Amino acid sequence: MPEIVTPSPLPEEGGSWFSRRLLSRLTLFAPFLAVLPLAAFGLMLSLALRAEREADRQADLQRAATALSVALEAELRGGIRVLEALAGSARLAAGDLVSFRAEAQRAMARDSSWFTIVLMDGERQLLNLRYPVEAVLPPLRDPASVASVLRTGRAMPSGLLDGFVALRVPVRVDGLVRFSLMGAVEASAYARVLDQADLPRGWSATLLDAEGRMIARAASGTAAPEDLRLALAQPRQMLSLPSLTAYAMPVGDSRWTLVAAATPDTFAATVLGWLVLATGAAAVMAGIGVAARIASRHRGQEAMRHRSQAEALARAADHDRRRTDMLATVSHELRAPLTGLLGYTDLLAKADLPPTAKSWVEQQRRAGQALLALIGDVLDFARLDEGAVELEDADIEIAQLLEDCAGLMRSVAQQKGLGLRVQLDPGLPRWMRGDPMRLRQITTNLISNAIKFTERGEIVVSARLTARPERVEVAVVDTGIGIAPEALPRIFDRFRQEGADTARRFGGSGLGLAICRRLVEAMGGAIGAESKPGAGSRFVFWVPYRPGAAPLAPAHDAALRILVAEDVAASRLLLTAVLERAGHAVTATEDGPAALAALHGAAFDLAVLDLHMPGLDGFGVAAALRTLPGEQGRVPLIALTAEQPEEVEPACRAAGFDAVLRKPFETRRLLGLIDALRGRVADPAARPAASPAGAVDQRPGVRSAGND
C-alpha cells in the first residue's frame, strides 16, 4: 500500500495567533487611545472654566446680598424711627394715654403693613391699638424681649411670630427707661423689599431671624434646603453646598440674616457631554472646542448680566442713602436763612408802622410762609415716600386760613385779570383741630394751579361741613382750560401733567398734586377732581372734622433769665430781639464753650441751644450741663435745629433737652414752649442776676462761625 503522507501545516503569515489577536485589540482601541490626551486636556480646561465661573458667581452673590441687606436695614430703620418718634411724644411723657393713643393710630394708619402698636412695662400691656380702651389686654407674648429692651435701653427687632415681626424701642421718663413700645409689622413688608430686587433666574433671597426661622423670601426664589439652614453658623460667610451656593450676611445689628443663593450650575453636565463625545472620535474634539468657546462666551455674558444687576442694586441703595443725606443738607442750608427772613418779618409786624407799611409787611410774611412751603415740597415728597412726615395737631381758624391762602395768591390772580374770592357755608364752624401748615400748603397749591391754568373769569374757594360722617370739605373751582377725561385719573401721580405741551407752556414739576394727595390721605381724607375741556375744573378735598377752640391768651408771668447759644449772627440777633421784646433778660453766646462758661458763671432759668456750633455743639453743652449739681443741672433746655424734629428728638432726649424747635421758628411757638416749661423753672426772683460774662458782640456784621 502506498504510504499516505499527511501534509504538515504551513506557517501562519504575519506571526503567531496571539500576535494577531493583540494587534486586532490594539486596532480596536486605537481611536480611544488617540483621543485620551485630548480628553484629559478638555477635562482640565473645563475644570478651570468651572472654577472661574464659580468665583464670579460668588462675587455676584456677595454684591447682591450686600445691596439687599442695605435695603432691608433701611426698611427696618424706618419702622424703628416711627416708634422712636412716638416714644418721645410729649403726650406719652405727660401720661396722657388717650391723646397718645390717637397719635399712635395716626402713625400706624400711614402704613398698611402695621398691625398694632403696644405700650408695655415689664409685667403687662398698658395700651394695645387692636383692643378698645376699656378691654382687658392679653398677657405679654415675649417677656424676655421686653425685659431686654428695658435693661439695655436699645431698640431691637424680634423674630417671626404668627406672621408678624415685633419692633421694640425703649420709652424714657426723666432719663430712665420705664416702658417698651412695640410695633407689630407684617412680614410681607420685608418680602416686598426682596421682591423689588430683579434676581437672575435660579437665584433666591431669604431673610432669616436669629432662630433661623424664615421671615420673608423673594417670590421668584425657592424654599431654602435643610443643609443651608444647618450651615448658617457664622454671621458672614460663603457657603458651597451640594444643593446650592449661598452668601449669608447680617442685616445691620438686628441679628437677622440675609441669604442670597444660586442653584447648582448646569456647567458640569456640559462637561460630561464633552467627555462622552471626546471618547468617540478625534473629530468630535473640534466640536468640543467650539462648544467650549460658545459656553465661555455665554458664561461671560451671563456673569456680566449678574454683575450689572448686583451693581444696580448696590447703586440704588447708595442712591437712597445719598438722597437722604442731600435732603437733610438742603433742609439745613435753606431753613437757616429763612429763620432770619420770617423772624424779622414778625418783629416788623409788631412795630409801629403806617397802615400801608403794615400791609406790605403782612404780604412779606405770607410770601415767606409760601416760600417755606414751596421749599418743603421736594423734601415733603421724599419724607412721604418714607412715611416719615409727622402731622401737627393744633387749633385752626378755618375761615382765616382760607382767607390767608386766597390773600397770598390774590395779587397773582389780579395780574392776570382774574377774580379770586372765598365763599363759606353758614354752617361751617369757626375752629377745628388739624395741621394748619399742611392744610395751607394743600389749599395754596390748588389755588396756584387754578390761576396758572385760567386765562379769564374767576377762582372760587369754598368750604362746608358735611354730616355723617362729619368732615370739612374744601373746593377750588376755576373757569380755566379744563382737563381731558383720559388725563383725569393720572393728574395725582407724581411727575405727571396733562401733556408735554401743557408742561412747556405752564411749567411746574408735576409734584404738587401728588403731594396734596399724599398729605390729604395722611390726614385720613381724600382728594379728587371734576373737569371738562374748555369748561374749567373743580378740585375738592375733605378731611375729618375734629372740634377745635380758640387758643388761650398767653399768661404774663415774671421775666426769665435766658441763655441763647447760636453761632449764626442773624439768628442770634433775632432770638435776642424776640425774647427781650417778650420781657425776658437774655445773655447771648456764639459757640458751645462760651455757653458752657456762661452757665458755670451765672444762674439761668432756661437755655436755647443751637445743635450745630463750633468748638462744642449743643449736645455737648447739654450733656455737660446735666452733670452740674443742684438747680444748675436742672435748667430747662430747648434745642434749635434745621433738621426734622422727629429725626433728632431721640438724641436730644438722651442728651437732656426738654424740647426741640425747628428753624425757621415762629415767634408764638418759641414763646409757647417757654411758657410750657415755666412750671419746671424755680422762682426767678430768688436767682442772682445773670452775668454778661461769656456774651458776645451782638452788632450786625459779626462773622458767623457756622452755617446752621
Q: How does pLDDT run across 250-270, given as a tens digit for each residue? A: 887 777 887 878 766 544 445
**Which residues make beta-bridge pairs with 396?**
432
The lowest-confidence range among 262-266, 348-352, 438-442 is 262-266
Q: Provide the pLDDT confidence category of residue 524 given band limits of 50, 70 and 90.
A: very high
The lowest-confidence range among 116-130, 424-438, 670-684 is 670-684
Domains 391-544 and 561-686 share a fold: no
Q: Measured on CA atoms in the order 110, 111, 116, 120, is the torsion positive or negative?
A: negative
Q: Measured on CA atoms in the order 95, 99, 102, 104, is the torsion positive or negative?
A: negative
Mean pLDDT of the chain: 76
Residue recorded with cell 425657592: 222
Question: How is domain 27-328 classified at the architecture level of CATH?
Answer: 2-Layer Sandwich (3.30)
The lowest-confidence range among 160-174, 482-496, 586-600, 661-675 is 482-496
Q: Which one of 3.30.160.250, 3.30.565.10, 3.40.50.800, 3.30.1330.10 gives the CATH number of domain 391-544?
A: 3.30.565.10
500 or 348: which carries more pLDDT confidence? 348
pLDDT for residue 639 is more than 80: yes
Is the separation of the CB atoms in 105 and 99 below 8 Å?
Answer: no
474 or 389: which carries more pLDDT confidence? 474
CA distance 277 to 265: 21
Q: Provide the pLDDT confidence category of residue 5 given band limits of 50, 70 and 90.
A: very low
Residue type, 275: L
Is the separation of the CB atoms in 431 and 397 below 8 Å?
Answer: yes
219 or 471: which carries more pLDDT confidence? 471
The Cα-based distances of 263 to 200, 223, 257 in angstroms read 11, 11, 19
pLDDT for residue 282 is more than 70: no
Residue recorded with cell 390774590: 410
10 or 461: which carries more pLDDT confidence? 461
pLDDT for residue 145 is more than 80: yes
CA distance 103 to 182: 15
- What pLDDT, on a 0 to 100 scale, did the predictor assign at position 555? 53
- What pLDDT, on a 0 to 100 scale, did the predictor assign at position 469? 80
- What pLDDT, on a 0 to 100 scale, did the predictor assign at position 48? 67
pLDDT for residue 351 is more than 70: yes
- What pLDDT, on a 0 to 100 scale, did the predictor assign at position 691? 38
Closest among 405, 332, 376 to 519, alpha carbons compared: 376
The lowest-confidence range among 320-324, 518-522, 621-625, 654-658 is 320-324
Strands 394-397 and 214-217: unpaired
Q: Measured on CA atoms in the order 279, 284, 288, 289, is the torsion positive or negative?
A: positive
Burial of residue 469 (number of CB atoms within 10 Å: 0-12, 13-18, 19+): exposed
Is the separation of the CB atoms in 193 and 221 below 8 Å?
Answer: no
Grid cell locating 103: 397719635
501 or 439: which carries more pLDDT confidence? 439
Query: DSSP 3-state assignment of 5?
Result: coil
Strands 176-186 and 637-641: unpaired
Domain ranges of the chain: 27-328, 391-544, 561-686
Enclosing H/E stretch for 257? strand 257-262
- What pLDDT, on a 0 to 100 scale, did the predictor assign at position 197? 76
pLDDT for residue 617 is more than 60: yes
CA 335 distance to own-chain centroid: 20
Q: Provide the pLDDT confidence category of residue 222 given band limits of 50, 70 and 90.
A: low
pLDDT tens digit sequence for 543-573: 999 998 876 655 556 789 999 999 888 888 8
- What pLDDT, on a 0 to 100 scale, did the predictor assign at position 13? 47
Q: Provide the pLDDT confidence category of residue 387 given band limits of 50, 70 and 90.
A: low
- What pLDDT, on a 0 to 100 scale, did the predictor assign at position 115? 87
pLDDT for residue 707 is more than 90: no
DSSP annotation string for 267-316: HHHHHHHHHHHHTT-HHHHHHHHHHHHHHHHHHHHHHHHHHHHHHHHHHH
Closest among 653, 554, 605 to 93, alpha carbons compared: 653
Q: 67: left (phi > 0), else alpha (psi -120 to 50), else beta?
A: alpha
Query: DSSP 3-state assignment of 336?
Result: helix
- What pLDDT, on a 0 to 100 scale, did the predictor assign at position 497? 52
pLDDT for residue 128 is more than 60: yes
Is the separation of the CB atoms in 42 and 228 below 8 Å?
Answer: no
Is the separation of the CB atoms in 402 and 425 below 8 Å?
Answer: no
CATH code at 561-686: 3.40.50.2300
pTM, to two decimals: 0.40
